[in-house]
Structure 1
Amino acid sequence: MAPPASASAFLRALKAEGLDVVEVGDWAGHNRNSKGAWGPVHGVMIHHTVTKGSARTVDICRKGYSGLPGPLCHGVITKDGRVHLVGYGRANHAGLGDDDVLRAVIAEQGLPADNEANTDGNRHFYGFECENLGDGKDPWPAAQLEAIEKAAAAVCRLHDWNERSVIGHLEWQPGKIDPRGFTMASMRARIADRLGSGAAKDSQPLPPPRRPVVDLSQLVAAARTNPRASGQPVTYSGVRTVEAALVDEGLLSKRYSDGHFGTTTIAAYSAWQRRLGYRGKDADGIPGKTSLVKLGQRHGFDVRN
């Protein structure tokens, strides 16, 4: 726990870590502080942008878009490894997340699974958006991965935190998948090495990311459990994995990505089946293995049973 560092101290810390920093406009005074508190700060959150092109990415993260005003982070890390500062203070990047996760970050302990969205993350986390399409195929250049490592380590040094104070958006808010394409466990290992040495280290390739596994039988059971009734979200993580994929496909509204395989999710899955060419009873919204495997191939998860 700490009060936020000054903008000038934040900038110095990034440069001291050896980063190429680009100051964008009035970044030090660009924030959402009028809408809520900024601080105490507890950690660093890493995101991917789902955008292509550095200039466009930086512009979106600085200005925001309809329904979500900027800044959308504090720094944008582009594929060339540069950190573009677009705001400082409260930023619209983290949203609501799990209070149990926040407690673990504060204690610098292992993270529990995120299953609630009840705590304001914009108040408590520094945020770095990283230029990537987030489709599991867009590459992460070595220079960009090293910049993520350095930026997170710089903020940790500033507040005397360790690597457990660095989390991904997917570890904070249910239904989120970012950053996709590397694991936060492997990134935290890199940050730990950097903080332990007190000096720059050569970047090492990250191991291949571990793909989520969706159990078809559990998913079907969730879909067939009183789907017309509203209620508590199903406590099977595979539901959220599939919902996130349907959101990415444009078939399910993000606000219905809540872990409950109810009528809205069934309708979205039916639309996915119809997109694959199924009709009638074959497009009833209850997942089948062939359609689920195809969804997993597009969105980075495996299927069993």
Structure 2
Amino acid sequence: MTDIRTFASALGGDVAGRNRVLCPGPGHSRNDRSLSVTFDGAAFAVHSFAGDDWQTCKDYVRERLGFPKWEPGDGQDRRIPAAHLQGFDAGCVDAEANDPRRTEDDLIRIRRARDLWDEGQEPRCTLVETYLRSRCLELGDDLAGKVLRFHPRCPWRDENTGRTIFLPALIAAFRSIDDDQVTAVHRIPLRPDGGKIGRRMLGVVHRAAVKLDPIGPDLAIGEGIETAMAARQLGYSPAWALGSVGAISFFPVINGVKRLLILGEVGKASEQAVRICGQRWQKAWRRVAVVQPATGSDLNDELISRVRRHG
């Protein structure tokens, strides 16, 4: 049977759970992670956080995986009525968000991620600092080496050739929200001038986060590392980065956190993920606030605009 990593590779996405992949939706960019695909053997279910048509998404996944085209069966319409769709989405996501189990395959991927993290080096005075400076982000003592590191030869699959190449990269540790152990690594390969090539995750990101700060009664969560770092500089802390829009929707309720600040981004995918996550926390009687960027598509864009405007 094909394993979940093979499915993720074919879809150009990341493994996000025991049987779930977050990947680009049809017509979206390579860095998009708005499509959730949950596998049960060769069968699968799809959910688009961008609101893409479910049948279009299923056809797209079938094509990418080399599955035969869908053929009508008994002719019954099994689509979920629009009036019940939001509740169905939330119920399915809530069930997985609260499941902390790890499979043997998960443990193998976690070991690979920890090995890569252990190879990381001091990030200051490297391309990591060059990249972060270009985004107006500060690399302080509390982040350097503990949360963010530099890897001089980070493995990266070239999507044009399918081969593994080695590139200098910013790497960040995803730590379990249950026991604080490293479970995955966020990889951002960099060009010689410090520009970003892309971003991917290695390991298990389910129930994990790039924890820029220790947890507190308030907690801000965002998609990208850059968004969460910008939030801290704009006064929203403690802050965690979850890596993708899909991970926002799956973020579980955590003991000790009284108020959740969700760092929204421009777009329908973010709106839907924020709604699903916010409803879960409100049902648990926690306060929820959403922070939207005043300019640009995310808080890092807003920070850059402020810095350039005020010097």
Q: Which has the higher helix share?
A: 1
Please report the TM-score for the alignment, with normalisation by the length of structure 1. 0.24
- Normalized per residue, the structure richer in strand is 2
TM-score by length of 2: 0.23
